Structure 1
Amino acid sequence: MLANKDGKVFVGQRLDAAASKYPDAWQMPQGGIDDGEDAETAALRELEEETGVTANHVTIIARCADEYLYDLPVELLGKIWKGKYRGQRQSWFLMRFNGDDAHINIQTAHAEFSSWKWTNPEDLPEMIVPFKRDLYRSVLKEFEPLI
C-alpha cells in the first residue's frame, strides 16, 4: 500500500481490465517473491516494476502482522496464472511516498497498469475485484491508523 503525504492511496487499473469480467476494477501494486529474495526487497522491487517508484522515494511504515489469503472464484480457476494456482497468499507493506507525482511512471518494462490515481483509503474495497474485497478490508483495517 503506497500512501502519499495527504493520506491518499495509489491504485492502478490493470492493462487487461477492459477484457476482463471486471473492467472497472483497480488495485494496489502487488507481486511475487523471487527465489532467495526477502519480502521487503520483493515489495520494493515490485513497486518499482509496476509504478516506476524507486526505494529512495518511499519509507516503509509497517508490515502486516499476518499473511492474507484469498481464493479465486470458480469461474477463474484454470483461466489465469496458467491454471497453476487457486489463489494467493500475500504479505502487505505500508509505504509512505516521499516523491512527487512525476516520480510515478506506469510505462515500465513490466507494465501492469493502463492508468493510476490517488484515492481515499476507505474507497479501496469497492474499487477492487469482488473476490479480493475482504482481503482489502483487512489490510485497510490494519494500516488505516498509520496512513
Structure 2
Amino acid sequence: MTKDALVTNNKPYRPNVGIALFNAGGRVLIGHRFKGDGPEIILPGLDWQMPQGGVDEGENLRDAAVRELWEETSVVSACYLGETDWFTYEFPPYDGPQTHRLAKFRGQRQKWFALRFTGKEDEIDPLTPRNGQPAEFDAWRWERLDRVADLVVPFRRDVYRAVAREFAPFAS
C-alpha cells in the first residue's frame, strides 16, 4: 500500500442520508445529476441517483432526510415507511482541489429512508435552489427500484443494491 493510499484511508466517512421516495405505483424518484466536479464524479450514462445529502452537526437523521428531499426536489408531501442500517461507499481517487467540500472525506456513510410520496407531481421541482443550496438535478423521473443500481456510478452500486433489497416490499 502506498503512502498516498494510507493518507486517503485515514480520511473519515461523511455522515449522509439517502432517500428512496416511492410513488403509489412503487417506483422511486431519481434525479439526473449535473456534471460533477469533485470526488463524486459523474460518468456518461451513469448520471442518475436518488436524493441524498449530508447530515448537519446534531441533526436528527430523519429530519436530515426530509430536509435533503426538500432541498433537492422541493417535495414535502411524503410519509415515513422505513429505514436501513448504515451503509458505506468510498469515493474514487480524486486529484482535484483539496478545497472541494468532499475532498476531506474518503467516502460516505449513509442511512437510507423510504418515504411514500403523497403529493401531486407538480410539487417535484429539482431546478429551483432551496435553502441556499445549488440545484443538483436537471431532470427527474420515476424508476423501478431494482433498476436504479444500473443507472448510478459504479462506486455506489453495492449500496444501491442493498437499499433495493431492503426496500423491495415498498416497491410492490
TM > 0.5 fold call: yes
Name which of 100, 107, 130 aligns with 2:120.
100
Contact map agreement 1:33 1:42 (CA 8 A) in 2: yes
Contact map agreement 2:72 2:136 (CA 8 A) in 1: yes
Offset at 1:107? 1.8
Task: State the secondary structure of the residue aligned to 1:92.
Answer: strand
Task: State the secondary structure of the residue aligned to 2:48.
Answer: coil
Answering whether residue 156 of structure 2 is matched by residue 132 of structure 1, we say yes
Sequence identity percentage: 42
Name which of 65, 84, 94 aligns with 2:104.
84
Q: What residue number does 1:73 align with?
A: 92
Of stretches 1-10 and 107-116 in structure 1, the one that deviates more from structure 2 is 107-116
Counterpart Cα distance in 2 of 1:83 and 1:105: 28
Structure (1 or 2) with the larger CA radius of gyration = 2
Contact map agreement 2:91 2:107 (CA 8 A) in 1: yes
- TM-score normalised by the chain length of structure 1: 0.89
- Code of the residue aligned with 1:44 in structure 2: it is V
Name which of 54, 59, 62 aligns with 1:32.
54
Greater helix proportion: 1
Unaligned runs of 5+ in 1: none
Greater strand proportion: 2
Q: What residue number does 2:169 align with?
A: 145
User: What is the Cα-based RMSD across aligned positions, in Å?
Assistant: 2.0
Offset at 1:23? 2.6
Contact map agreement 1:52 1:106 (CA 8 A) in 2: yes
The count of residues paired between Structure 1 and Structure 2 equals 143
Q: What residue number does 1:44 align with?
A: 66
Q: 1:44 to 1:97 in 2, by over 3 A?
A: same
- TM-score normalised by the chain length of structure 2: 0.77
